[in-house]
Homo-oligomer: A and B are copies of this chain.
């Protein structure tokens, strides 16, 4: 999620911003611009940012305000691609959001009973309906009234023809930062989007804050009752880019500390060397290797030309989808005991195939160290892949997981250790619900 206010190349910069944030959603991308004349312009499509946008799009996206999104829209559901735009009383409104609204279904049913029609399943459309129902109070108070109805996690960006509004739920589940580039203001999910364009990082948008950006500059409101914060710790485990800061701290350093604490917590595991599967566990592996004094090696090489091209598996080749991407260095691995550090185990399918690939390259023993606790519980606050399918640790003990993955050893980081890696204490401002079942906003109440 990226937005910029006050730059003549707003669309192009939004494109670069989304490009830097591509890891947050690879299936769809969209940019809407406003601020030139009465209308707005947009381009959306399925695919990577670099696939959806082409050079000649930018001349068709005028305006000094832009707002964009990368997401997980399912195939064909073009209408679901954010940002979401409407015309209301001859004015344009465009909304982008991340997160999850727990009482969405019940709010939707209520609106339908009152004659509203929905064209998508998205929370964006829902929020836009709520806003329209309160617009008679004016935009500012109407937005506050609409957001007051929501139970859930959200960072949202609302663009009108002459302003940009950012809002973050009072618990601050998901990250959103504010930056500046020349006279323009930028809002982005992670700081790596600012780095790409040499923009200056100003601060986080605060939980419960509504930030209005327009010709007069910035104006901040905090209209909601303050609540205990619940920053998503999974951003530090897997989601965010290592070169980003989220929730005000650096991801690379947090991951490296996860490795160091893994070393503290598992002093007896031995091996010829430590490695990771490219690239997610690499930073923890470096921390672990340094803390234990065990050499770090790149035991598996990634083919950098894999791209996104769909290549049919061959009937002649086993585990093709892994092999096409990764090849163990046989001379390194053959006959050795190795430690593999990985960030997390979600469904376990990827790690399983990679372990097999190391086995076939001749590894004698494979010991896995996971830089987060067993991931057992679904996320309702925006990490969608933690809600779909079966979580390996949800239905299997560590012992069973080890056997299923054909590992010789398997150790997880403790929840306390994970909190320490982000320099937080117990009961800190983080959400660890997927690890500890401690939901800041329980989903059960909504089952009506």
Contacts and interface: CB of A to CB of B under 8 A. Distances in A.
A239 interface: no
A116 interface: yes
Contacts of A12: 314, 316
Given A242-B329, A296-B286, A86 B307 contact: no
Contacts of A303: 19-20, 22
B117 A86 contact: yes
B298 A242 contact: yes
Interface in A4-20: 7, 9, 12-13, 16, 19-20
A173 interface: no
Interface in A91-128: 109, 112, 114-119, 121, 128
A347 interface: no
A161 to B, nearest CB: 16
A226 interface: no
Contact of A198 (B20, B241, B360): B360
Interface in A234-267: 241-243, 245, 250, 252-253
Given A19-B324, A283-B298, A301-B243, A250 B307 contact: no
A329 B243 contact: yes
B305 A26 contact: yes
A318 B195 CA distance: 12
Contacts of A330: 195, 243, 250
Interface of A: 7, 9, 12-13, 16, 19-20, 22-23, 26, 41-44, 48-51, 55, 60, 76, 78-79, 85-89, 109, 112, 114-119, 121, 128-129, 132-133, 135, 181, 192, 195-198, 241-243, 245, 250, 252-253, 279, 282-283, 286, 290, 295-298, 301, 303-309, 311-312, 314-318, 323-324, 327-332, 360
13 contacts: A9-B314, A12-B316, A13-B314, A16-B314, A19-B311, A42-B76, A60-B76, A88-B118, A192-B327, A196-B317, A196-B324, A279-B304, A286-B296
